[in-house]
Amino acid sequence: MSSPIPMDETMWNGLIHSGIAGTMFGLPYVPPKKEAIKASQADLAFIGFPFDSTQISRTGANYGPRGIREHSSLFLTYNATSDIDLSQKFRMVDCGDIPVIPGDVENTMKIATETISNIIAGGARPVLIGGDHSVTIGGARAFARHHEKPGLILFDTHYDTADDIGGVKDSHCCPISRAVDAGFDPRHMVLIGISGWLNPRTELENARKHGLTVITLDEIIRDGAKPAGQKAARIAGGARDVYLTIDIDALDATVAPGTCVPTAGGMMLREMFEILAQFKELNIGGLDIVEVAPSLDPTKVTQIAANRIILETLAMLKAS
C-alpha cells in the first residue's frame, strides 16, 4: 500500500477559494517578493485581493480575483484596431493573491500594504484585483510609501469618503478618507461618476472638507466624457504620481450587474473608456479594480467588462 500524502493543514488558515486557478491572460506567475519581482524584470504585476469582510451590502466580491482571471481567457493582450500589443509594451506577471484573513480587516490591511509595497520596491506597477473597495486602502498606503504626495482618480457611483462605518476605519466606504490620511494630496484627487441615491450627506460634506474635486455623472452627461476626462487629468496631473481606482459600480447595472450595489442609470462603458483615454500623459503608478462579485451575475458580463476595462486602462498607460 502506498503511503498517504499528508495534507497541508495551513491550507485552512485563510480563504478557501483564494489562490489562482489560472493567471491573468495566461501570464507567468512570480511571487510578490521584492527580489523575485526584480529578477523577473517585471514592470507591471497583477495581484488578487480576495477580501470583502467590510461589505455593508451584498457580499461576493471576495470571488472577484478568481472570476476576473477566469474570464481573462476570453481576451488577447493585442488589439488589432489600435495595433497595441501589451505584451510588447510591458513585462507583465501575475503575483497570485494576497493572503487575507477573513473577518480581520486590520491585519489583512497590514499584510496587503507590505505585499503591495514589495511589488513597488521590486520595480513593478501593481494592478490590484478586488475584492471590495477596502482593497484601495492597502494599495494607497503602499503607494504613499514610495511616492510623495501622490494624486488619485476614483471612478465610482459613491463618494467613499466616510470616516468610519460603525467604528471600522478601513471599511469599503472609507478608501478616499484613508488615502488622505496616508498622505495623498487632496488638491490632486478627483472623484468621477458620483450619482444616485446612496450617498449620505456626511460623505458629500467630507469631500468638500478635504477639498476634493468631484465630477458627477450629471456633469459627464451634460458636458461630455472627453471634457470630464480632461478636467480630471488636469487636476490629478498636478501630482507627480497618480493612483487610479475603479469601482465597477460606477457602471450602469445593465453593464455591471454583478456588484454589491448595482447602479441603475450609471455610466456606460464607452463613457468610461473616453475618460480613461484622457489620462495618457499622467504618471499612473498603481491601480485597482474592485467590487466585482461574480456570484451576483450569472451572465458573467461583469467579469468580462472588468477585463475590458483593465485592458483599455493598460493601453492608455505610459510605458515604464
Annotated binding site: 133, 156, 158, 160, 247, 249
Residues 6+ positions from 128 with CB-CB distance below 8 Å: 47, 48, 49, 116, 135, 136, 138, 139, 286, 287, 288, 289, 290
Q: Which residues are annotated as a binding site for Mn(2+)?
A: 133, 156, 158, 160, 247, 249
The number of beta carbons lying within 10 Å of the beta carbon of residue 291 is 32
Q: What are phi and psi of 314, to 5 degrees?
A: -65, -35
Report helix, strand or coil for 302: helix
For 162-175, letters b (16+ CB in 10 Å) and e give beeeeebbbbbbbb
Given the DSSP bridges, would you call strands 84-85 and 78-79 parallel, antiparallel or unpaired? Answer: antiparallel
CA distances to 124, 255, 273 from 20, rounded to whole Å, are 20, 26, 28
